[in-house]
């Protein structure tokens, strides 16, 4: 009789636990979806986004279900032995489902990229940002590199004295290092070789297919180049993982053959830090579609599957004119970046890069680091974290950013021609940027649009 009763009790407990588990799953489903819905463009198709339950992919749900099942079995055995009250069986099942889901990180909706970056806004050692210049460069670009360094030193760094990091896929020559030391004797300089796995094919890439792509793309700029693809992949997914950058939170990317046209009289890193900005640029431009045919769809697929990475109030409008349906090809020109390294170190960006890398477009197409950085920053950051440095006169062949504000131009001794400013010209994305940020265009912008 006692055995009969306890079996009935157990069946009842199991029934209650299954009912409660279903309720938990359903509740998570609607609340998660509601939470992310406001952060995503309306055109995001939730039916494709892995929202089959609690924001989990089917595999993750399976894992959660299996874990819950195991816990339930254990609880059932314990109950049979007369050690666990019925309520514990229910709690154990529900908890197992939640534990398994949050172990996958899918229910952790606080995985905001800003939580990851914020600690680097509050420096305790006198407020000086942990910042450096970072330059990827070849030995044979020494001359053009020295020209860039001279400009940056003269216009900014003689006063602020931030470190310079130089990276290369091969060892720097002694001549290269000596010349750099000579140019910047008062700055810390560090020279690093890139680890082989950051500049080579991962095992999931079909190298024959990659070689065929290079042949097919021979008539596209850098389409036939293998090293250019390694460079773009490195700038997208690895420069910030180089051990020499571990000591820093902020970087300014500098390339050979660039120019700074105006004095920069304030500490731009400190400005970024104090104003809690994350990504700063000077020039924006449209990408060649033929280099990135599947980048947008691959990216959207990732964000649909991982909607918790989509920032509230993001800058989607800058990169898409139809709320995420299509890419408008706009991107920040990444040869200049002043940004927070923790953006790239964040779980959100790392997962995004990983998805892109596995999709293979760095090699099977010719994905550039500029659209990759830009799509990520525009989606995973709140838009007020992105800053356009209209006051920094900058040149990377063939385009200029030249301050249109006469006061800024004069006070900072600029030597560029405002007529050459690229911001509002046809192929630029300045208009898209101003509109997406809700910024008022300069009064005289039309004068400089042709």
Ligand X SMILES: Nc1nc2c(ncn2[C@@H]2O[C@H](COP(=O)(O)OP(=O)(O)OP(=O)(O)O)[C@@H](O)[C@H]2O)c(=O)[nH]1
Binding residues for ligand X restricted to 169-198, rule: CB under 6 A: 169
Q: Which of 88, 141, 276, 405 binds ligand X (CB under 6 A)?
A: 141
Strand partners, 251: 132, 339
User: Cβ of residue 335: shortest distance to Mg ion, in angstroms?
Assistant: 5
In the bound state with Mg ion, the residue whose beta carbon lies nearer, of 387 and 395, is 395
169 binds, among Mg ion, ligand X, none (CB under 5 to 8 A by kind): ligand X
User: Cβ of residue 257: shortest distance to ligand X, in angstroms?
Assistant: 7
**How many whole angstroms separate alpha carbon 155 and alpha carbon 263?**
5
168 binds, among ligand X, Mg ion, none (CB under 5 to 8 A by kind): ligand X
In the bound state with ligand X, the residue whose beta carbon lies nearer, of 256 and 280, is 256
In the bound state with ligand X, the residue whose beta carbon lies nearer, of 138 and 270, is 138
Q: Which of 118, 138, 179, 326 binds ligand X (CB under 6 A)?
A: 138
Q: Which of 114, 137, 272, 292 binds ligand X (CB under 6 A)?
A: 137
Binding string to ligand X for residues 319 to 338, with x set by CB under 6 A, is what? ----------------x---
Stretch that binds ligand X, among 31-39, 137-145, 350-358, 430-438 (CB under 6 A): 137-145
**How many whole angstroms separate alpha carbon 26 and alpha carbon 8?**
27
Binding residues for Mg ion restricted to 331-350, rule: CB under 5 A: 335
3-state secondary structure the chain: CHHHHHHHHHHHHHHHHHHHHHHHHHHHHHHHHHHHHCCCCCCCCHHHCCCCCCCCCHHHHHHHHHHHHHHHHHHHHHHHCCCCCHHHHHHHHHHHHHHHHHHCCCCCCCCCHHHHHHHHHCCCCCCCCCEEEEEECCHHHHHHHHHHHHHHHHHHHHHHCCEEEEEECCCCCHHHHHHHHHHCCCCCEEEEECCHHHCCCCCCCCHHHHHHHHHHCCCCCCCCCHHHHHHHHHHHHCHHHCHHHCCCCEEEECCCCCEECCCCCCCHHHHHHHCCCCEEECCEEECCHHHCCCHHHHHHHHHHHCHHHCCCCCCHHHHCCCCCCCCCCEEECCCCEEEEHHHHHCHHHHHHHHHHHHHCHHHHCCCCHHHHHHHHHHHHCCHHHEEECCCCCEEECCEEECCCCHHHHHHCCCCCCHHHECCCCCCECHHHHHHHHCCCCCCCHHHHCC
138 binds, among Mg ion, ligand X, none (CB under 5 to 8 A by kind): ligand X
In the bound state with ligand X, the residue whose beta carbon lies nearer, of 106 and 157, is 157
| CB 98 within 8 Å of CB 24 | yes
207 binds, among ligand X, Mg ion, none (CB under 5 to 8 A by kind): none
User: Cβ of residue 145: shortest distance to Mg ion, in angstroms?
Assistant: 11
In the bound state with ligand X, the residue whose beta carbon lies nearer, of 277 and 331, is 331
Q: Which of 255, 263, 301, 305 binds Mg ion (CB under 5 A)?
A: 255
Sequence-distant (≥ 6) Cβ neighbours of residue 59 within 8 angstroms: none
136 binds, among ligand X, Mg ion, none (CB under 5 to 8 A by kind): ligand X
Separation of first and last alpha carbons in the chain: 93
User: Cβ of residue 270: shortest distance to Mg ion, in angstroms?
Assistant: 27
CA-nearest of 14, 99, 16 to 54 is 99
Stretch that binds ligand X, among 116-124, 132-140, 155-163, 345-353 (CB under 6 A): 132-140
Size of the site for ligand X (CB under 6 A): 11
Q: Which of 32, 49, 120, 168 binds ligand X (CB under 6 A)?
A: 168
Binding residues for ligand X restricted to 227-256, rule: CB under 6 A: 227, 231, 255-256
Q: Which of 79, 101, 136, 300 binds ligand X (CB under 6 A)?
A: 136
User: Cβ of residue 256: shortest distance to Mg ion, in angstroms?
Assistant: 7
256 binds, among ligand X, Mg ion, none (CB under 5 to 8 A by kind): ligand X
Catalytic residue among 76, 287, 308, 337: 337
330 binds, among ligand X, Mg ion, none (CB under 5 to 8 A by kind): none
CA neighbours closer than 13 Å in the CB half-sphere of residue 5: 3
In the bound state with ligand X, the residue whose beta carbon lies nearer, of 138 and 150, is 138
Residue 287 a catalytic site member: no
Would you tell me which residues interact with ligand X (CB under 6 A)? 136-138, 141, 168-169, 227, 231, 255-256, 335
Would you tell me which residues interact with Mg ion (CB under 5 A)? 255, 335
**Residues acting as catalytic residues:** 337
């Amino acid at each position: 009789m006692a055995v009969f009763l306890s079996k009935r009790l157990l069946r009842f407990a199991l029934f209650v636990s299954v009912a409660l588990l279903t309720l938990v799953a359903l509740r998570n489903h609607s609340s998660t979806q509601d939470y992310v819905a406001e952060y995503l463009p309306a055109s995001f198709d939730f039916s494709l986004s892995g929202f089959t339950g609690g924001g989990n992919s089917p595999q993750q749900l399976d894992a959660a279900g299996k874990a819950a099942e195991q816990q339930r079995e254990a609880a059932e055995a314990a109950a049979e032995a007369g050690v666990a009250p019925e309520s514990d069986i229910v709690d154990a099942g529900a908890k197992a489902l939640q534990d398994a889901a949050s172990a996958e990180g899918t229910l952790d909706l606080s995985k905001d990229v800003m939580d990851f970056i914020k600690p680097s806004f509050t420096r305790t050692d006198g407020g000086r940002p942990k910042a450096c210049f970072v330059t990827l460069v070849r030995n044979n670009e020494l001359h053009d590199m020295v020209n860039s360094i001279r400009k940056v030193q003269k216009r900014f760094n003689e006063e602020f004295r931030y470190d310079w990091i130089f990276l290369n896929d091969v060892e720097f020559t002694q001549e290269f290092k000596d010349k750099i030391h000579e140019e910047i004797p008062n700055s810390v300089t560090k020279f690093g070789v890139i680890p082989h796995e950051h500049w080579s094919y991962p095992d999931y890439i079909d190298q024959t297919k990659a070689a065929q792509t290079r042949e097919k793309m021979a008539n596209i700029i850098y389409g036939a180049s293998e090293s250019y693809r390694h460079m773009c992949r490195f700038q997208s997914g690895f420069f910030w993982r180089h051990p020499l950058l571990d000591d820093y939170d902020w970087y300014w990317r500098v390339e050979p053959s660039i120019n700074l046209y105006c004095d920069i009289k304030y500490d731009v890193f400190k400005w970024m830090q104090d104003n809690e900005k994350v990504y700063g640029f000077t020039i924006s431009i449209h990408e060649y579609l033929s280099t990135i045919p599947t980048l947008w769809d691959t990216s959207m697929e990732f964000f649909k599957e991982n909607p918790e990475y989509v920032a509230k109030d993001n800058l989607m409008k800058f990169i898409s004119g139809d709320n995420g349906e299509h890419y408008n090809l706009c991107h920040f020109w990444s040869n200049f970046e002043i940004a927070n390294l923790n953006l790239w170190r964040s779980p959100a960006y790392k997962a995004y890069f990983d998805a892109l890398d596995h999709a293979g477009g760095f090699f099977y197409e010719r994905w550039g680091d500029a659209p990759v950085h830009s799509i990520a920053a525009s989606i995973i950051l709140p838009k007020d974290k992105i800053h356009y440095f209209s006051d920094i006169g900058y040149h990377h062949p063939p385009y200029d950013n030249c301050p249109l504000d006469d006061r800024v131009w004069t006070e900072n001794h600029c030597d560029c021609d405002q007529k050459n400013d690229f911001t509002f010209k046809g192929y630029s994305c300045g208009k898209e940027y101003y509109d997406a940020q809700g910024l008022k265009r300069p009064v005289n912008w039309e004068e400089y649009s042709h």
